[in-house]
């Protein structure tokens, strides 16, 4: 059987993941976006060489724990689904650099996400996240949290020493922690559609950070 490295089944109206797909277990890229999928089988863990998995624009209500078996994964797209939780096994994806969980029904950012040490970009916009866990993400450069339910940020945000961009648009923020001043590389802070004015934002702006209001 011919080995296929890149499997692109975008918008094929599949409805379910075909069994024949798992014969291509050596694939490095798998795109199943926009296929009206409501479930992903546990056999997804068989794609041991996978580096990019796109499950966006479906109707998924859960992600199987077997996702944690994809330990070579660099990019994971789970946006625009119906997820209210993520499996703890996600924490095993220690090579993951990009994670998109935007446009779901998440009310909290799972601690497993906060343990993805290689993560460079995290997109979690358009959920209902009310608070953030401690984030042990030393390589994170972009954190996108637009349109959530955040009223403040944890002081541990100051540990994100590589952070360049922080998008907080459309959150009901009542305060911002002084720990934001501990982010030496922060270049852009987006506070559009946020009521109120914050001394921390003024201080960041004074030192050269671009603050959108």
How would residue 4 be classed by pLDDT, with cut points 50, 70 and 90?
A: confident
Q: Is the pLDDT of residue 213 over 90?
A: yes
Which structural domains are found in the chain, ordered by start?
A: 1-96 (3.80.10.10), 131-213 (3.80.10.10)
- pLDDT band, residue 57 (cuts 50/70/90): very high
* DSSP track, 161-183: TT--EEE-TT---S---GGGGG-
What pLDDT score was predicted for residue 1?
Answer: 42
Q: Retrieve residue 69's tokens.
A: 């078996």
The predicted structure's pLDDT at residue 150 = 98
Residue 3: per-residue pLDDT:
64
Give the mean model confidence (pLDDT) for residues 31-53: 97
Tens of pLDDT, residues 139-176: 999 999 999 999 999 999 999 999 999 999 999 999 99
Average pLDDT, the chain: 96
φ, ψ of residue 88 to 5 degrees: the values are -65, -25
Q: How far is CA 64 from the centre of its chain?
A: 17
Q: For residues 128, 130, 134 and 140, what is the CA-based torsion angle, rounded to 10 degrees?
A: 40
- Kindly report, residue by residue over 65-102, the tens digit of the pLDDT: 999 999 999 999 999 999 999 999 999 999 999 999 99
pLDDT tens digit sequence for 106-148? 999 988 999 999 999 999 999 999 999 999 899 999 999 999 9
**What one-character-per-residue DSSP string does 41-107 give?**
-GGGGG-TT--EEE--SS--S---GGGGG-TT--EEE--SS--S---GGGGG-TT--EEE--SS--S
Distance CA 141, CA 119 (A): 8
Residues 86 and 132: their CA atoms lie apart, in Å, by 14
DSSP classification of residue 202: H
C-alpha distances out from residue 51 to 72, 98, 127, 206, Å: 6, 11, 26, 41
pLDDT at 2: 52
What lies within 8 Å, CB to CB, of 40 at 6+ separation is: 17, 55, 60, 63, 64
């Amino acid at each position: 059987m011919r080995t296929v490295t890149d499997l692109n089944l975008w918008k094929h109206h599949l409805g379910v993941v075909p069994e024949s797909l798992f014969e291509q277990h050596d694939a490095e890229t798998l795109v199943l976006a926009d296929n009206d999928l409501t479930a992903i089988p546990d056999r997804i863990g068989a794609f041991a060489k996978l580096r990019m998995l796109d499950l966006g624009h479906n109707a998924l209500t859960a992600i199987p724990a077997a996702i944690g078996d994809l330990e070579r994964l660099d990019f994971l797209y789970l946006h625009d689904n119906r997820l209210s939780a993520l499996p703890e096994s996600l924490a095993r994806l220690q090579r993951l650099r990009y994670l998109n969980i935007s446009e779901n029904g998440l009310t909290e950012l799972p601690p497993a996400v906060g343990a993805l040490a290689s993560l460079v970009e995290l997109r979690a916009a358009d959920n209902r996240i009310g608070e953030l866990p401690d984030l042990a993400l030393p390589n994170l450069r972009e954190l996108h949290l637009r349109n959530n339910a955040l009223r403040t940020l944890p002081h541990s945000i100051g540990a994100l020493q590589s952070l360049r961009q922080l998008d907080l648009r459309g959150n009901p923020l009542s305060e911002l922690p002084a720990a934001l001043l501990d982010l030496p590389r922060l270049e852009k802070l987006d506070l559009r559609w946020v009521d109120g004015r914050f001394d921390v934002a003024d201080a960041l702006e004074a030192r050269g950070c671009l603050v959108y209001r």
